[in-house]
Structure 1
Amino acid sequence: MASKEQSSIASESVMQSDELYKYILETSVYPTEAEYLKELREATTSNHTTKTVVTCPIAGQLMGMLLKLGNANMVIEIGVSTGYSTLLTALTIPKDGEILAISPDQKSFEIGLPIIKKAGVDHKINFIDSEALPVLDQFAKDKLNMGSFDFAFVNEIDTNNYTNYYKRLVKLVKIGGLIYFSNTLCEGYVVKQEQDVPENKRLLRQQCHNFIKEMSQDPQVQICHLPIGNGFFLCRRVY
């Protein structure tokens, strides 16, 4: 019998082949995944009190490499879920690094918090139980915060505020810094005609279209759209 994780592979990736996705996980991702990350991922998939999902491990692997390549020290994360990407970041950045983790869903974060504490990296995480925009606006009031972050990760299912997040994050992230958006392909519905999209996905589909169109015309960032997980959109601040 397929495990819960294996049976959900199709919903975690826009790849047409579940077998190919599984192959990448088993040969390249899981063998290098830290034990604490594996424990948190399994705690998330086995928890029945929340509908939250774990960050795509393939995207997480890429994120870890980007953090290393960019020598990231100061990170903003919007949409923490159970903390898989937060833990990954905390394990990757230096001892004096800091993560500003913003989420209004503290209940989900508390699922992974015991594992984060066991990993000994909870001191790097400044968790703020709030919607993101008010926090970002407050940070932007202090000029010292402008350009002070190396990396930002936006991991929310509702893409309605992605443009608003971008307008703030591109000022808070340094020149050469990265902003990483998840869920930008709307489960593959971005290539479907509206009449072929379930009604509860049509607004999300349009929001993704609007966001990608706007970003592709913005000279302030260099972009790369990746067909992994549910879509990941990478922005590098140029000026």
Structure 2
Amino acid sequence: MPDTTIEALFETMRSYAAAHHVPIMEEQGIGELLELLRQQQPQRLLELGTAIGYSALRMADALPDVTIDTIERDEERHEKALGYIRESGLENRVRAICADALELDIDELTPYYDAMFIDAAKGQYERFFNKYEGLLSPGGIIYCDNMSMHGMAEQPIKEVPRRKRTMIRNIRSFRKNMDEHPGFDCELLPVGDGLLVCRKK
């Protein structure tokens, strides 16, 4: 697919996301993620949180040798993602699965992945990690978006809106646990909305 065509598709997706309040990665954040992935050159990647397929297609476009499994529980967003994946011409390398990632039987997935990108329910990152890290190859990397949650993760908890406090406590706990995890080397990058990069030892 010509670059001009895929870029036009990405612009269409950004416009749709803005108009329909679909959260997609900020440009700075996804630019940094793509640069890290180009350095890593994974062959197989698992994404939790497809939304409309924007980040999956950006990753597939930037990494011509990667195959991606991406999971989304919202049926409407999943269907929209399928349409964009078909339009992109990348459907042979991007497999979109409609399921709750916390309920999916992992036997349906590839036995191993070189990289994982977690961008789903923000308060559930610890559970996602515990369920899926066993599928990550030694030396593989987990990338986690929204670790700052628009600065709320750095605020005193009393300043965080009450309805978001449980999520923020969970994010903080996850960040702390990963920082202390004996099996991973982790770094929190201050790009986009906070990108946590964890390499499996």
Common topology (TM > 0.5): yes
- C-alpha displacement at 1:139, in angstroms? 4.9
**Partners of 1:43 and 1:111 within 8 A in 2:** no
Aligned ranges 1:220-239 → 2 under 5 Å: 220-238=183-201
C-alpha change, 1:171 and 1:85, in structure 2 (3 Å) is same
Match for residue 181 of structure 2? Answer: 218
Distance 1:173 1:211 in 2: 18
- C-alpha displacement at 1:226, in angstroms? 1.7
Deviations 1:50-86 (A, max 9, x none): x321211212112222222222121101011111101
Distance 2:122 2:24 in 1: 17
C-alpha change, 1:126 and 1:187, in structure 2 (3 Å) is same
* Aligned counterpart in structure 2 of residue 57 of structure 1, from 24, 27, 30: 27
Distance 1:164 1:69 in 2: 28
- C-alpha displacement at 1:128, in angstroms? 1.2
Match for residue 46 of structure 2? Answer: 76
**Partners of 1:76 and 1:100 within 8 A in 2:** yes
**Partners of 2:82 and 2:96 within 8 A in 1:** no
Aligned amino acid, residue 52 of structure 2: T
Unmatched 5+ stretches in structure 1: 1-32
Specify the structure having the higher radius of gyration (Cα): 1
**Partners of 1:40 and 1:112 within 8 A in 2:** no
**Partners of 1:39 and 1:115 within 8 A in 2:** no
Distance 1:233 1:100 in 2: 20
Match for residue 179 of structure 1? Answer: 142
Match for residue 3 of structure 2? Answer: none
Distance 2:180 2:67 in 1: 32
Aligned ranges 1:68-107 → 2 under 5 Å: 68-94=38-64, 97-107=66-76
**Partners of 2:29 and 2:193 within 8 A in 1:** no
Give the TM-score normalised by the residue count of structure 1: 0.74
C-alpha change, 1:132 and 1:57, in structure 2 (3 Å) is same
Match for residue 7 of structure 1? Answer: none
- C-alpha displacement at 1:169, in angstroms? 2.9
Aligned ranges 1:157-196 → 2 under 5 Å: 158-196=121-159
2:96 matches 1:127: yes
- C-alpha displacement at 1:111, in angstroms? 3.1
SS at match of 2:182: coil
Q: Kindly, what percent of the aligned residue pairs are identical?
A: 23
Distance 2:105 2:67 in 1: 16
- C-alpha displacement at 1:112, in angstroms? 4.3
- C-alpha displacement at 1:159, in angstroms? 2.4
**What is the number of residues matched between the two proteins?**
196
Distance 2:50 2:64 in 1: 20
Deviations 1:159-182 (A, max 9, x none): 232112212332211111110111
**Partners of 2:78 and 2:98 within 8 A in 1:** no
C-alpha change, 1:149 and 1:55, in structure 2 (3 Å) is same
Aligned amino acid, residue 163 of structure 1: E
**Partners of 1:179 and 1:236 within 8 A in 2:** yes
